[in-house]
Amino acid sequence: MASRPSMLYITPVVPSLGGNGLAMRAGVVLELLAARYDVHLLVARMYPPFGEVPEALARLCRRRAIVPARPRGGGAPPQVWKGERFEFVHVFRLAMLPVARPYLGGLLRRPKRHLDLDDIESATRRRLAALFRQNGDTARADVEDTEAARHAELEAEALQSFDRVYVCSAADRQTLADRARAELFVLPNAVRPLEDVPDAPVDSCFTFLFAGTLGYYPNEDAVRWLCTEIVPRIRALAGEGFEVHIAGAAAPKGLRETVEGARLRWIGEVENLAPYYAAAHAVIVPLRAGGGTRIKVLEAFGYRRPVVATSIGVEGIEARPDEEVLLGDTPDEIAHHCARLIADGALRERLACHAHALLLRNYTIDALGRALDGR
């Protein structure tokens, strides 16, 4: 390991092999970086999960440290390896820029600076603001508008001061192309294809699965929209012969009651989603805000489960309507597609087959590795 270039990898989330999408992206990128660099891992925790680095990932690092991103009482983020020089600094997400600054050097002897932007947060924050306003929460909308402006300033700084910036999709790269001095590369999200894909259940009630971190407002909103607007329309079209399962951690107060009041099945937080994908016939992703690329959609593709989603729900994934995914942006459209899936096994099989092929072409670990190598 000592002969490899040294790299400081700074992330706001503990890298993981599973769980939420942010942790999974941090984990798979760490694996790939460790094959190329002598990695020193600095986790400045901002987002869950808040545990230790899994042993399978920890042993890939020369050193590792976990610190709070925002120390109690305020002040600057702690400098764990103060004064040390690294040949490369890889920063995961824009929020880590204040943590990274002490390690980025000056005009002389500066390291190569790489940023995994992961999401154009100024745009995502504006979308969140619009969603809060739509839902009548003007106070939180105003906060998000302020955050959007702050993130726009950070993005402008990073696009000029970093050597390489990774984004999740070709669309994001196009959005930033005219504003960047940095080289821009698409670093897609990826999941490992399953060796044995479970067949969809045959004799059980038709089941839709929603999976996502429920403490993330777009996911919370999606579940509430599902309960109040979408599921009643599916029942009007298809009767009562289906179930909807809701799985995810960090649910806000009252969400479970909303789900159960709508006669959906509450799964809540689970360590392993595999049994729930195996028990599902289809996956539903009715997001109305958000950014980046949806790892949970890619997981569904990996399990060969057809997906019904909004356009935002599959944003960043090169999935074609009626080929790899069914798209709808209104409750009526989504309900119509769900009823189609319930009734048409051939449609389910075709979508699942095409989506799985798309995953193998574009969203594999090899694809990430090529992007990290600048190819």
Question: What long-range pairs does 168-177 form, CB within 8 A, spacing at least 24?
Answer: 168/117, 168/118, 168/119, 168/292, 168/293, 168/316, 169/293, 169/315, 169/316, 169/317, 170/318, 171/315, 171/316, 172/117, 172/120, 172/316, 175/120, 175/123, 176/117, 176/120
Collect all residues with Cβ–Cβ distance below 8 Å to 253 and sequence separation of at least 6. Answer: none
- Convert the pLDDT of each residue in 39-73 to its tens digit: 999 999 998 778 899 999 999 999 999 998 887 77
**Do 18 and 52 contact (CB within 8 A), yes or no?**
no
Query: What is d(CA 331, CA 328) in angstroms, rounded to the nearest whole number?
Result: 8
Q: What single DSSP character describes residue 86?
A: -
Alpha-carbon Rg for the chain, nearest whole angstrom, is: 21
pLDDT at 18: 81
Q: What is the mean pLDDT of residues 65-93?
A: 87
Q: What is the mean pLDDT of residues 116-125?
A: 94
Whether domain 6-191+365-372 has CATH 3.40.50: the reply is yes
Task: Say which residue the tokens 């289809």 belong to.
Answer: 282
Q: Is the dihedral of CA 297, 298, 300, 306 positive or negative?
A: positive
Amino acid identity, position 280: A
Tokens of 1: 């390991």
Q: What is the mean pLDDT of residues 347-356?
A: 98
Q: Encode burial over 217-254: b for 16+ CB neighbours within 10 A, e otherwise.
A: bbbbbbbbbbbeebbebbeeebeeebbbbbbbbbbeee
Collect all residues with Cβ–Cβ distance below 8 Å to 180 and sequence separation of at least 6. Answer: 159, 160, 165
Task: Say which residue the tokens 């909308």 belong to.
Answer: 141
* pTM for this predicted structure: 0.93
Task: Say which residue the tokens 């690092």 belong to.
Answer: 61
pLDDT at 372: 85
Query: What is d(CA 222, CA 370) in angstroms, rounded to the nearest whole number?
Result: 34
Q: What is the mean pLDDT of residues 10-36?
A: 92
Partners of residue 346 on adjacent β-strands = none
pLDDT at 71: 76
Q: What is the mean pLDDT of residues 288-299?
A: 88
pLDDT at 2: 52
**Residues counted in the chain:** 375
Q: What is the mean pLDDT of residues 99-121?
A: 89
User: What crossing angle do the helices spanning 217-225 and 121-134 adopt, rounded to 10°?
Assistant: 40
Listing DSSP states for 265-292 in one string gives EEEE--S--HHHHHH-SEEEE--SS--S
Distance in angstroms between the alpha carbons of the first and the last residue of the chain = 23
**Do 215 and 249 contact (CB within 8 A), yes or no?**
yes
**Do 294 and 316 contact (CB within 8 A), yes or no?**
yes
pLDDT at 367: 83
- Other Cβ atoms within 10 Å of 287 Cβ, number: 24
Which residue in 305, 345, 339 sits closest to 325, CA to CA?
A: 305
**Cis geometry, peptide bond prior to residue 275 (ω within 30 degrees of 0):** no
Q: Are strands 88-92 and 6-11 parallel, antiparallel or unpaired?
A: parallel
Q: Where are the domains of the chain?
A: 6-191+365-372, 206-362
- Convert the pLDDT of each residue in 240-293 to its tens digit: 999 999 999 999 999 999 999 999 999 999 989 999 999 999 999 999 998 877
Whether domain 206-362 has CATH 3.60.15.10: the reply is no
Model confidence at 1, pLDDT cuts 50, 70, 90, reads very low
pLDDT at 287: 97
Model confidence at 107, pLDDT cuts 50, 70, 90, reads low
Average pLDDT, the chain: 93
Task: Report whether pLDDT(184) > 70.
Answer: yes
**Do 86 and 40 contact (CB within 8 A), yes or no?**
yes
| Topology match between the domains 6-191+365-372 and 206-362 | yes
Query: What is d(CA 308, CA 338) in angstroms, rounded to the nearest whole number?
Result: 7
Q: What is the mean pLDDT of residues 117-137?
A: 96
Tokens of 283: 């996956």
- Convert the pLDDT of each residue in 303-316 to its tens digit: 999 999 999 999 99
Q: What is the mean pLDDT of residues 318-343?
A: 98
